Amino acid sequence: MRHHHLVQKAPATRRVLVVEDDRKMADALVSGIKAGGYDVSVARTGEEGFFLVHKLFPQLLVLDLNLPQRGGLEILRQIRAQSLDIRILILTSNNSPEDRVAGLNAGADDYLGKPFSFPELLARIGALLRRAQAPATAALLRIADLALDTESRTASRSDVRLDLTTREFDLLLYLAENQGRAVSREMLAKDVWKENSRFTPLDNVIDVQMTRLRRKLDDPFAVKLLQTIRGVGFILQEPKP
């Protein structure tokens, strides 16, 4: 096993905060995520979780929704309102489609229902952190008045900053890297969500995230860049005159 504490940058890029009020589950999560090579801290209330987010600046938050004092969705909304650069994975027994949509609409990057398998949890954590740290082929991508800075992970249109979550930026970057080409939901599930299982359909999740992205990317602007191709998927391109 590699000694991560000897690598100066490892804790800064692999710090995970677990917010879970059930002690047995919290202990299992800490143990399992540490085994994946991450630096893990734990909070057992929403209030403590919110405090530790600002004290530890973790790169990823594993967040239960049913928490004492301050609920998971409230924490989620407050973190997104502050535009903190943190990936958020909801882990909860509230696993209905409505709960998933509510969590994603509040700004979650991913959603995993209980019961879950640790290999899947670690795969999703790894995918979120890898995508955020992936070396870019070009520092700046431009499509019409859209500019994506892959180093600072920011996007703007006509110099107006777009307030994107981590997942929304990942989606936009993937579409931009494939500009002018149709991108299917299957491609997004595999390349953005890193989900290869045919037994975990993500179409609903992808459509919700795409709607949120379009609301920020296109709705405030006259020129629309993101189009849906019925039966195929999505395409990001400069409209033809």
Alpha-helical regions (H) of 9-96: 10-13, 23-35, 46-56, 72-81
Residue 216, pLDDT > 70, answer: yes
Quick one: average pLDDT of 37-47? Answer: 90
What domains appear along the chain, each with residue ranges and CATH number? 4-133 (3.40.50.2300), 140-236 (1.10.10.10)
Cα atoms in the Cβ-side hemisphere of radius 13 Å centred on 240? 1
Q: What is the pLDDT of residues 125-148, one digit of tens each?
A: 988 887 665 544 457 888 989 999
Among 110, 107, 148, 105, residue whose Cα is nearest residue 126: 110
The letter for the amino acid at 150 is: T
Q: What is the pLDDT of residues 84-107, one digit of tens each?
A: 778 999 988 877 777 778 888 888
Q: What is the pLDDT of residues 220-241, one digit of tens each?
A: 999 999 999 888 889 999 887 6
